[in-house]
């Protein structure tokens, strides 16, 4: 576990499998309350939509701004998304909480582990109970986060159900299920509903996020539906790929696909390269290409014909 899931400490992004659409005529039981129709992408909103899709949105902003830290005429530093910070925090907690090699522990077919551990700052803590089947490797339980600070940022409070599979000393998969959990990441203050499923892999791993973030001040929501993050370890860097559907409160949903992996040098929160394309109504597309940690290129296909009618260089640092 310490190796298999640690790759997520460099990355983000997120959908609630049980969550239908909200606002726009969706189910009132859903925590998502924004537009549920395909987003209408225009030349005027293409930059906002592309950056919100990349960063996981800025729920505290209005429809014409994006991130809390802005420079150069209002453009944000396109850094680590809120969902990535959450994944990083959960990975660190799983590393700290899960017991060692299950197969060599108590001879009972099922063992219960109850304990707690502090965060790296000595401010918050996690109390946990895990039920582990020593024969099959299956486990389930609960993490209770109390003012828990992640090593890479973020603070979380509330109970989270967990389940998964352990093989030897390594957790191959762990699912976190949020019913209503408070999460803060910089200027973002949200309540999270849904699931984050971390799966270990050789030289990296992946996460599937089905989660809704509800802003506790504006009450706007962000819904990432069956959104996947793939991670590959490189020499002194990590490559991030992501794909899936994201519902942006003020715009509706778009589909996101990474064309070239986003490269995060070790210890950096800004990518040095990468490209994704965002697709809205009538096959209108926006392509965001990171040039370096100071700027990105924005290409817009305004009529869905497959050609870029608008190309612009945007500085965000």
The pLDDT of 272-276, averaged and rounded, is 93
pTM value? 0.81
In this prediction, residue 205 carries a pLDDT of 76
pLDDT over 70 (residue 62) = no
pLDDT over 80 (residue 69) = no
Give the start-to-end residue ranges of the domains of the chain.
Answer: 6-268
Q: Between β-strands 252-265 and 273-279, what pairing exists: parallel, antiparallel or unpaired?
A: antiparallel
Does 171 or 47 have the greater pLDDT score?
A: 47
In this prediction, residue 11 carries a pLDDT of 34
In this prediction, residue 99 carries a pLDDT of 53
Q: pLDDT tens-digit profile of 193-250?
A: 999 998 876 667 788 999 999 999 999 999 999 998 887 888 898 888 889 999 999 9
In this prediction, residue 169 carries a pLDDT of 61
pLDDT over 50 (residue 6) = no
In this prediction, residue 177 carries a pLDDT of 96
Q: pLDDT tens-digit profile of 162-180?
A: 999 887 666 788 999 999 9
Q: pLDDT tens-digit profile of 101-143?
A: 444 444 445 688 889 999 989 999 999 998 988 788 899 999 9
β partners of residue 131: 112, 140
In this prediction, residue 226 carries a pLDDT of 95
Q: How confident is the model at residue 269 (pLDDT cuts 50, 70, 90)?
A: confident
Radius of gyration of the chain (CA): 20
| Average predicted confidence (pLDDT) for the chain | 79
């Amino acid at each position: 576990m310490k190796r298999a899931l640690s790759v997520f400490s460099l990355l983000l992004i997120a959908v609630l499998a049980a969550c239908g659409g909200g606002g726009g005529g969706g189910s009132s039981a859903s925590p998502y309350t924004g537009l549920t129709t395909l987003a209408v992408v225009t030349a005027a909103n293409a930059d906002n939509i592309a950056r919100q899709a990349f960063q996981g949105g800025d729920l505290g902003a209005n429809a014409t701004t994006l991130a809390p830290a802005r420079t150069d005429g209002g453009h944000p530093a396109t850094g680590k998304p809120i969902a990535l910070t959450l994944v990083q925090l959960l990975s660190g907690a799983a590393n700290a909480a899960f017991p060692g090699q299950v197969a060599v522990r108590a001879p009972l077919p099922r063992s219960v582990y109850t304990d707690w551990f502090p965060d790296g700052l000595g401010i918050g803590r996690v109390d946990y109970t895990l039920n582990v089947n020593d024969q099959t490797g299956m486990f389930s339980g609960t993490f209770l986060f109390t003012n828990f600070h992640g090593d890479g940022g973020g603070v979380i409070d509330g109970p989270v159900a967990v389940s998964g599979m352990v093989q030897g000393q390594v957790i191959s998969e762990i699912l976190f299920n949020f019913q209503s959990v408070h999460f803060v990441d910089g200027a973002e203050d949200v309540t999270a509903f849904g699931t984050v499923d971390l799966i270990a892999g050789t030289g990296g791993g992946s996460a599937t996020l089905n989660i809704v973030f509800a802003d506790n001040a504006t009450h706007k929501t962000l819904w990432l539906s069956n959104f996947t993050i793939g991670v590959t370890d490189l020499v002194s860097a990590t490559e991030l790929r992501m794909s899936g559907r994201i519902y942006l409160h003020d715009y509706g949903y778009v589909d996101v696909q990474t064309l070239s992996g986003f490269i995060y040098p070790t210890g950096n929160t800004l990518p040095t390269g990468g490209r994704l394309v965002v697709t809205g109504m009538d096959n209108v597309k926006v392509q965001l290409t990171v040039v370096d940690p100071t700027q990105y290129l924005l290409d817009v296909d305004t009529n869905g014909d497959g050609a870029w009618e608008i190309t612009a260089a945007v500085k965000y640092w």
